[in-house]
Amino acid sequence: MVINKHMRNREIFNRKLENLESNLTKMSYLLRRQGTKDEYDNMITSCRDLIEQMKSYINMEPVTPNEINKY
């Protein structure tokens, strides 16, 4: 994936990545403290939602002739 240096949604994209990173940390914590299956499933769903949002933001960006936007 190539992130265009002129990406308009860079700040949003960075926040979503930070949210994703935070969710992964929470999932690790849930595993260490023997969290419930529902708690873990909720975190996985949240991570997937963030990934879909990020794909959407990428798709809104203009594609240069050098890249193919597969999302």
Tokens of 66: 């050098």
Domain annotation covers residue 22: yes
At 36 the pLDDT is 86
Domain annotation covers residue 27: yes
CA 33 to chain centre: 25
Domain annotation covers residue 20: yes
Task: Give the pLDDT mean for 55-59.
Answer: 81
Domain annotation covers residue 66: no
Domain annotation covers residue 33: yes
Count of domains forming the chain: 1
The torsion of the CA quartet 19, 25, 27, 30, rounded to 10 degrees, works out to -130
Domain annotation covers residue 2: no
Mean pLDDT of the chain: 79
Q: Which domain holds residue 55?
A: 10-60
Domain annotation covers residue 69: no
Are 9 and 55 contacting, i.e. CB atoms less than 8 angstroms apart? no
How many other CB atoms are found less than 10 A from the CB of residue 21? 12
Q: What is the per-residue pLDDT across 16-46, written as a single tens digit (0 to 9) for each? A: 889 888 988 888 888 888 888 888 888 889 9
Domain annotation covers residue 5: no
